[in-house]
A and B are shown apart, each in its own frame.
Chain A
Amino acid sequence: MAQELNRLKESPSQTAGPYVHIGLTPNFLGIEGVFPVDLGREMVNDETIGERIDVVVRVFDGTGTVLKDVLVEIWQADAKGLYNSPNEPRGKADPNFTGWGRMASDMENGECVFRTIKPGQVPFNDGRMQAPHISLWIVARGINLGLQTRMYFADEDAANRVDPVLTRLEHQNRVPTLIAPREGNTYKFDIHLQGEKETVFFDI
């Protein structure tokens, strides 16, 4: 028999469950005094470079009902297209922008509202530019493995049309599920877990 590779298997995922707020947004839930703030709530400060925007994410189940117990994290580049991460090899990102947000949905209307900036462009591995985008990770009761998707910006049509990820989708009629329309300074991104408008999710 050949030698073993001795690689480990990833720990299997389990649902975040209905009580995810206790661990990840305790102050939002009213558990105060354990952590001073909920992580990921503030992505920007007064010094952050870039155009201020709000991103409003809602997640709908297969019956068209908005999820009121979902938790969404986002990850994005700064205004120049740099990530605030040690794995960013191209330069130092804006120190006044974390790039990472975490919000539990409002328990009444299901909205996750991220106060952020519009990201710059990040290259694909072959050197082509990707359109500005935000990476999302979605967990909730009934979701066994966190869902990965991306949000693109409707007012970046020229960049979207040549984006290396969007253009590789076999079903081009599903591209609009990844593009958030703009109203004023707000982008509304509705995610559909199932049905006609099912959002494109990624295995990346």
Chain B
Amino acid sequence: MKNSLPEVHGFFQRDRSWHPPAFAPGYRSTVVRSPQRAPISFPNTLSEVTGPVFGHALLGELDNDLTINYAKAGESAIGPRIVVYGRVLDENGRPVPNSLVEFWQANAGGRYRHKKDTYLAPLDPNFGGCGRAVTDAEGRYWFRTVQPGAYPWPNGVNDWRPAHIHFSVFGPGFVQRLITQMYFEGDPMIWKCPIVRTIPDERAIERLIAKLDMEATQPFDSRLYKFDIVLRGSNSTLFENRKEGN
């Protein structure tokens, strides 16, 4: 009988004290958008451990180059040229291949190409602000962009977001879905930001700060920042000789 049941390897439970709490009044938008009752847990079923997959065939040639994927032919976005690279891993340290990584950001002046953004910094006609990549067999991704600017936002009267890039990441299981933000090493704005400070543990914040990698930097082209992302792991990969299928 037992053999007829689907073998489901659940993900390690989320450490909710490591993530920002839903209610974090320093970030005022959370006050009316935070559930107040305790979330309910049950063991992962096939509904949780399965998820959509996006192949490399999805990608266009310029998807991971934000300096030119919205630009007129022969032109490119204005701002400090950087490459962001890293790996998507799970909590066991295993690479997550075929992970769709999507990213979006403000331009070098701190302005988003969005109808709701009214900041007085100008739009860059050659910068859209979105890109995507699919990780390779070792979990690696990379993209070229311009370093985004800091920008003010309505929260307190003088709150500014540090320069950041938004990331959306898929794992093979739908409950691994994660959205987060990447910050830049050495930026003093990070520690003043009410959104950053929704994360209770300083060590967790450090995990979102990309490191400048001068060794990998491309001379006369782009500086490189390294940003690894960790998704929830499961016990399915603990035992090598288990039959295939995650």
Contacts and interface: CB of A to CB of B under 8 A. Distances in A.
Interface of A: 6-24, 26, 29-31, 33-36, 39, 61-63, 65, 67, 69, 73, 75, 77, 83-90, 98-100, 122-127, 130, 133, 135, 137, 139-148, 150, 164-165, 168-169, 193-194, 198-204
In order of increasing CB-CB distance, the 4 nearest A-B pairs are A23-B104, A142-B29, A142-B33, A85-B50
Residue from the set A10, A65, A90, A123 with the largest chain B CB neighbour count within 10 Å: A10
Given A10-B15, A61-B33, A169-B40, A18 B89 contact: no
Contacts of A150: 47
A interface: dominant SS: loop
A19 B231 contact: no
B176 to A, nearest CB: 9
A144 B174 contact: no
Given A34-B62, A125-B5, 20 more contacts: A8-B90, A8-B230, A11-B230, A13-B180, A14-B166, A14-B195, A14-B198, A23-B168, A75-B50, A83-B50, A87-B172, A135-B174, A137-B177, A143-B33, A144-B22, A145-B20, A164-B42, A169-B40, A204-B41, A204-B44
B104 A22 contact: yes
Residue from the set B20, B35, B179 with the largest chain A CB neighbour count within 10 Å: B179
Contacts of B231: 10-11
Contacts of A83: 46-47, 50
Given A29-B115, A198-B36, A90 B53 contact: no
A202 B16 CA distance: 12
A135 B4 contact: no
A144 B27 contact: yes
A198 B168 CA distance: 26
Given A17-B166, A22-B112, A12 B18 contact: yes
A144 B7 contact: no
Contacts of B67: none
A10 B177 CA distance: 11
Nearest to B8: A125
Nearest to A145: B19
Nearest to B205: A12
Residue from the set B16, B27, B30, B35 with the largest chain A CB neighbour count within 10 Å: B35
Contacts of A202: 39-42
B47 A135 contact: yes
Contacts of B20: 12-14, 144-145
B245 interface: yes
Contacts of A133: 47
Contacts of B201: 12
A34 B166 contact: no
A90 B128 contact: no
Nearest to B176: A10
A19 B40 contact: no
Given A34-B69, A89-B6, A193-B32, A144 B198 contact: yes
Nearest to A21: B114
Residue from the set B18, B21, B51, B69 with the largest chain A CB neighbour count within 10 Å: B51
B75 interface: no
B9 to A, nearest CB: 9
Contacts of A147: 35
Nearest to B54: A39
Nearest to B29: A142
B103 A168 contact: no
B34 interface: yes
B208 A12 contact: yes
Nearest to B94: A8
Interface string B55-93: 000101011000001100000000000000000011111
